[in-house]
Amino acid sequence: MNPLAEALNLTIRTHAPHVYEMLSSLGKRIFFPKGILSQGAEAKEKAHRFNATVGIALEKGAPMHLDSIHHWLESFDPADLFPYAPAAGKPALREAWAQKQRRENPSLRDRKIGKPIVTHALTHGLTLVGDLFVDPGDTILLPDKFWGNYRLIYEVCKGARIHTYPLYSDQGGFNLEGFRRHLEERAAEAKKVIVILNFPNNPCGYTARIREAEAIVRILLDTARQGARLVTVLDEAYFGLFYAEDIWTESLFGPLVNQDERLLAVKLDGATKEYYVWGFRVGFLTYGVQCGGDVDAVYQALEKKTMGAIRGTISNSTHISQSLILQAMQSPGFLRESQQKVAVLKGRALKLMEILKQPKFQEAWSVYPFNSGYFMCLRLHGVDGETLRCHLLERYGVGVIATGGNDVRVAFSCIEEEDLASLFDILYQGVMDLQPAG
pLDDT tens, residue by residue, 296-308: 999 999 999 999 9
Q: What is the pLDDT of residue 39?
A: 77
Of the pLDDT bands very low, low, confident and very high (cuts 50, 70, 90), residue 42 is confident
Which part of the chain has CATH 3.40.640.10?
A: 3-32+87-329
pLDDT at 130 over 80: yes
pLDDT at 21 over 60: yes
pLDDT at 52 over 90: no
pLDDT at 9 over 60: yes
Q: Name the CATH topology of 335-434.
A: Aspartate Aminotransferase, domain 1 (3.90.1150)
Of the pLDDT bands very low, low, confident and very high (cuts 50, 70, 90), residue 191 is confident
SS3 of the chain: the string is CCHHHHHHHHHHHHHCHHHHHHCCHHHHHCCCCCCHHHHHHHHHHHCCCCCCCCCCCEECCEECCCHHHHHHHCCCCHHHCCCCCCCCCCHHHHHHHHHHHHHHCHHHCCCCCCCCEEECHHHHHHHHHHHHHCCCCCEEEEECCCCCHHHHHHHHCCCCEEEEECCECCCCCECHHHHHHHHHHHHHHCCEEEEEEECCCCCCCCCCEHHHHHHHHHHHHHHHHCCCEEEEEEECCCCCCECCCCECCCCCHHHHCCCCCCEEEEEEEEHHHHCCCHHHCCEEEEEECCCCCCHHHHHHHHHHHHHHHHHCCCCCCCHHHHHHHHHHHCCCCHHHHHHHHHHHHHHHHHHHHHHCCCHHHHHCEEECCCCECCEEEEEECCCCHHHHHHHHHHHHCCCCEEEECCEEEEEHHHCCHHHHHHHHHHHHHHHHHHCCCC
Q: Tell me the mean pLDDT in the region 175-204.
A: 97
Which part of the chain has CATH 3.90.1150.10?
A: 335-434
Q: Tell me the mean pLDDT in the region 409-436.
A: 97
Average pLDDT, the chain: 96
Q: What is the pLDDT of residue 53?
A: 83
Q: Tell me the mean pLDDT in the region 204-231.
A: 98
Q: Tell me the mean pLDDT in the region 406-425.
A: 98
pLDDT at 157 over 60: yes
Q: Tell me the mean pLDDT in the region 373-402.
A: 98
Q: Tell me the mean pLDDT in the region 276-285.
A: 97
Q: What is the pLDDT of residue 438?
A: 57
Q: Tell me the mean pLDDT in the region 102-111.
A: 94
pTM for this model (two decimals): 0.95
Q: Name the CATH topology of 3-32+87-329.
A: Aspartate Aminotransferase; domain 2 (3.40.640)
